[in-house]
Amino acid sequence: MSERVVLIDAVRSPFGKAGSLYSETRADDIMVRTLRGLLERNPKVSPTAIDDVAIAAATQSGDQGMNIGRSVSLLAGIPDSVPGYSIDRWCAGALTAVTTVAGAIAMGQYDIAIAGGVEHMGNHPMGEGMDPNPRYLAEKLVDTDALQMGMTAERLHDKFPHLTKARSDAYAVNSQNKTAAAYAAGKIQRDLIPVAVRSTELGWGVATVDEPPRPGTTVETLAALKTPFRPMGNVTAGNAAGLNDGATAAILASESKANELGLSIKARMISFAFAGVAPEIMGYGPVPSTIKALAKAGLKIEDIGLFEINEAFAVQVLSFLDHFGIADDDKRVNQYGGAIAVGHPLASSGVRLMINLARGFEERTDVQYGVTTMCIGLGMGGTVIWENPNFKAKGAKQ
């Protein structure tokens, strides 16, 4: 039995700078509040009707361990009859959680599932607890650069010298400007779930907006920043996503169950794909994964009207755009800004892309298809192609 998979809703916590906004808040508590907020605004979805909960984290220990998919479900008040599990595909954790439950829905085994991700990079610095096998380096399976994400971005600059630091800085400023405009128009806040935060110095508070954005950023200020990964390099703190804390969650369902329950549909899943590249140029992963996803969908890049590309590094996005002949400032790309501005809490980010794409679908009824895509550490990319349920063909009756 085959079912069409649809996105019902998606939300996220405000994103914080690592060890700042959420410095005294547990990762699982951020995830719990996000889950509760998702269910609170979807009262037609009975918690007892949820078939599974898949939650991702790149570091699965401490407050992100203990099978976080199951543990946060119980903490969020989801009935103990609903199972849960954890996912790890590094940056693409939440994206993989979505595609994994989507496979079960498509097979007719699930009707409704929750997928999401959390990362508290303040509590769990990137690479914490990892013990890379010496064979990686001894057998030259990878270069040392492959284990340092900033160096993989510098490698992309080497591979594509026409993707200059100036272009990366200009792209980063544009991301900041688009995020500022989206905030001014109230377009980002509507999908943020307020989260209680604790500070020994300030007491209790409520996180309601993203902490990382730097409105007013200019190319002149970015040009003056240091290049920490390589002397006279190209990658800076200004043209890359920061280290962040935050959580995301989404409800996926079969289209038949959504219609039966009278649930609104924000997007229909058309295809998805993951692909590998040389780990040293990790950021190039979205190119082959998008090529695969397009082929599976029977579509061409020209059919895509909106793109949500995770901005781990500006050069990584530029390499994707360059391959497909898309301008650096194409208005179809990251219309509300991206991770360079709002942050990239690793395993949570895939669902943030879906949130933005779904909102774009609401505004752009002339767009039929959209893409969410991201690069993944150790040389991978992941892409999901979605159809706009609000699409109106040119000339169609309103």
Residues known to be catalytic: 91, 344, 375
CB 50 within 8 A of CB 82: yes
CA distances from 77 to 30, 47, 80, 81 (A): 14, 9, 8, 11
CA torsion sign for 303, 308, 312, 317 is positive
Are 53 and 83 in contact by the 8 Å Cβ rule? The answer is: yes
Strands in 157-266 per DSSP E:
195-199, 203-207, 244-254
Instruction: Provide the sign of the torsion angle of the four alpha carbons 188, 308, 273, 390, taken in this order.
Output: positive
Contact of 245 with 33, CB cutoff 8 Å = no
**DSSP one-letter code for 26:** -
Query: What is d(CA 96, CA 154) in angstroms, rounded to the nearest whole number?
Result: 26
Of 290, 295, 327, 292, nearest to 310 by C-alpha is 290
Displacement of CA 51 from its chain's centroid (Å): 23
Task: Decide if 100 contacts 87 (C-beta within 8 A).
Answer: yes
* Distances, alpha carbon 285 to alpha carbons 33, 127, 216, 288, in Å: 32, 20, 31, 6
